[in-house]
Amino acid sequence: MQEVDAIVIGAGFAGLRALHTLRGQGKKVLVLEASDGLGGVWYHNQYPGARCDVESYDYSYSFSPELEQEWRWSERYATQPEILRYINHVADRFDLRKDILLNARMTEARYDEQAARWMITAADGRQWSARYFVMCVGQLSTTKAPDYPGQSSFKGRVIHSAVWPRKETIDFNGKRVAIIGTGSSGMQMTPVIARLAAHLTVFQRTPNFSVPASNAPVSDEEDRQVKAHYRERRERAWNSPTGLGFAVNRQSALEVSPEEREKVYEAAWHRLGFGFALAYHDILLNAEANETAAEFIRRKIASVIDRPELRQKLVPRGHHFAARRPSVDSGYFQAFNRDNVELADIKESPIVEFTPEGIRTTAKHHAFDIVIFATGFDAFTGSLFKPAIVGRGGISLREKWADGPVTQLGVSVSDFPNMLIVVGPGSPSLLSNVMVSIEEQIDWLAALIKKMDEQGVVEFEAEPEAERAWVAHVNERARQTLYLTTDSYYNGAEVKGKPRVFMPYTGGVRGYRRHLSECAEQGYSGFALRKTPAARAAQSEAPQAA
Ligand code: NA7
């Protein structure tokens, strides 16, 4: 069995950063990646139109000023292929590949209490032992798809947006295509596939809010400007609520005149993309303020849809803007003005079954050659529950979190010493520019490990009391927002039977950073730091047998 200092699971943005940082601290690190390439979600989500909805310059590593200066983003919002090129460039630039094992799916991680080490097993039986176990598996990587009656009888092709075939180009030419799901994936691929396919039917359950990406090529002048002031841009992101590179308007949407609000929303509509939700500080805090934004967006969406009956169906109603993840689109609603694009409203006429030729709803039968599930993920916990993660006393993470995730500061779990979960539940994760959150948490872990080394500590473990306090704080912050007013993957509603618990931290990147820093400044308060493993300490304190 090979012994390393740290095992990192997943070779996406988080895994590569963990490898680079811990290796830089002199640790022997090994990354296990289940698939045959680097990039995590950006490797798997290769559907047409896949693109980041955080600006490229912000959705990139900040740890290397040289890397920042060398890399040239071509578009304001990078496409999936460009992001994948960036990730591979980083892997080469920092010589990361030599410590990454591809095609190595971790199936079990078991904590050895005597040794204070994790025993890691891969699907093919290989094993490693590591002091630190770092889960970098992403929050949206375990896919979910419906199971309609007759699904397996369908003679055409079925593809999930997040398991997109990588070694072939799907030919849409002349094909009748279905997209089921209108989250970011469905909305991004719709206009692209509409241009390629003979006919496209979009199956919509919940109409989603969306703001235009206003994507554009990055000019040389813009690139020079950003690079000349990159540090300031990073500072703004680190000190912002969401980790995006611009400031929130501190005003309330309700304290300004309707005319002024209209001007602010109009400017945000053409520039901010996802940041539209920050046009006023109370859009996600106050229903009345939210409604001013929602109404503006509804008007904008309606204005680009030609057919009145479609306007009625596509315009989002029934939930607050951004209380579930809105999309940032490039011509989604306009695609429905094409003659070859049809909307199937499955709230009104649900899917009854798949047939060998297509899909039957209560309204009619649709014939298809290709059906695409853009139906999303078992978010946050899906990928943490796939392998058996077994902590102190034989308790599994699945058992520990049976009623929902419990963490200290969104990074660590009692009974699972020396394990760190990057951008998991209880941290800003999906409510932030995830790159900012990734780097923040990994730097925090690296500092903790440095301190442990200096003090001869071999085991860190979250204290249950601190966990309870953190979970209470996460819930309290969520209650101050509008997030709890609707079903979403933020609160476990996306999977039947999942505990209905709000998972991300709504206190913002800056607020979260303060908690992490305070914890470190107070000697890692809320954590037990032990010089001998707890199991051994307990043993040596136990009365000796005669
Ligand atoms: P999302 O955002 O979870 O969207 C999934 C979509 O699929 C959404 O419209 C769902 O409708 C729909 N859905 C899910 N299950 C079904 C079933 N059974 N039948 C019909 N429709 C269904 O996933 P995405 O991949 O689009 O985006 C993921 C993230 O990537 C996104 O949040 C950004 O962070 C980037 P619902 O709304 O539940 O009614």
Choose the residue to mutate in 42, 184, 329, 496 for probing ligand 1, maximizing ligand atoms within 8 Å of C-beta: 184
Q: How far is the CA of 180 from the centre of ligand 1 (A)?
A: 9
Q: 499 C-alpha vs ligand 1 centroid, how far in Å?
A: 18
Instruction: Give the pLDDT score at 545.
Output: 44
- Per-residue model confidence (pLDDT) at position 542: 62
Measuring from atom 33 of ligand 1, which residue has the nearest CA?
184
- What is the structure's pLDDT at 540? 73
pTM assigned to the model: 0.96
CA dihedral of residues 8, 11, 12, 18 (deg, nearest 10):
40
358 lines ligand 1 (CB under 6 A): no
pLDDT digit string (tens) for 377-406? 999 999 999 999 999 999 999 999 999 999
**Where is pLDDT greater, at 545 or 117?**
117
- Compute the distance from residue 186 Cα to the ligand 1 centre, in Å: 8
Nearest CA to 330 out of 200, 199, 193, 211 is that of 211
Does pLDDT of 546 surpass 50?
no
- Rounded Cα–Cα distance for residues 33 and 438 (Å): 17
Residue 298 has φ and ψ, to the nearest 5°, of -60, -45
Q: Which atom of ligand 1 is nearest to the CA of 206?
A: 39
Residues 6+ apart with CB under 8 A from 186: 161, 179, 180, 202, 374
Percent helix / strand / coil, the chain, rounded to 5:
35, 20, 45
What is the three-class DSSP state of 141?
A: coil
Which H, E and C letters describe 467-489, residue by residue? Answer: HHHHHHHHHHHHHCCCHHHCCCH
Neighbours of 400 (CB within 10 A): 17
Residue nearest to atom 37 of ligand 1 (CA): 206
pLDDT digits (tens, 9 = 90+) for 454-486: 999 999 999 999 999 999 999 999 999 999 999
Q: Which two structure tokens, joined as six digits, stand for 65?
A: 């000023």
Q: Is the CB of 27 under 6 A from ligand 1?
A: no
pLDDT in tens, 177-219: 999 999 999 999 999 999 999 999 999 999 999 999 989 999 9
Residues with Cβ within 8 Å of residue 425, at least 6 apart in sequence: 380, 381, 404, 405, 407, 410, 503, 504
Whether 429 lines ligand 1, by a CB cut-off of 6 Å, is no
pLDDT score for 535: 85
Looking at residue 523, the DSSP 8-state letter turns out to be T
What CA–CA distance (Å, rounded) separates 452 from 421?
A: 18
Nearest atom, ligand 1, residue 181 CA: 7
Rounded average pLDDT over 250-274: 95
**Ligand 1 atom having least distance to the Cα of 430:** 34
Q: Distances from the Cα of 126 to the Cαs of 40, 69, 108, 402, in angstroms?
A: 22, 40, 11, 29
Q: Report, as an integer, the average pLDDT of 535-543.
A: 74
Residue 181 beta carbon below 6 angstroms from any ligand 1 atom: yes
327: which DSSP letter?
E
Q: Is the CB of 245 under 6 A from ligand 1?
A: no
Q: Which two tokens stand for residue 154?
A: 């369908």
- Specify the residue with its C-alpha closest to ligand 1, atom 19: 146
Three-state secondary structure readout of 224-293: HHHHHCHHHHHHHHHCCCCCCCCCCCCCCCCCCCHHHHHHHHHHHHHHCHHHHHHCCCCCCCCHHHHHHH
Q: For 32-87, what is each residue's pLDDT tens digit?
A: 999 999 999 999 999 999 999 999 999 999 999 999 999 999 999 999 999 999 99
Q: How far is the CA of 372 from the centre of ligand 1 (A)?
A: 12
CB 435 within 8 A of CB 61: yes
Per-residue pLDDT reduced to its tens digit, 434-448:
999 999 999 999 999
CA–chain centroid gap for 140, Å, is: 5
**Cα(first)–Cα(last) distance of the chain, in Å?**
37
Both tokens of 469, joined, read 């306090």
Amino acid identity, residue 191? P
Mean pLDDT, rounded, of the chain? 96
Distance 299 CA to ligand 1 centre (A): 23
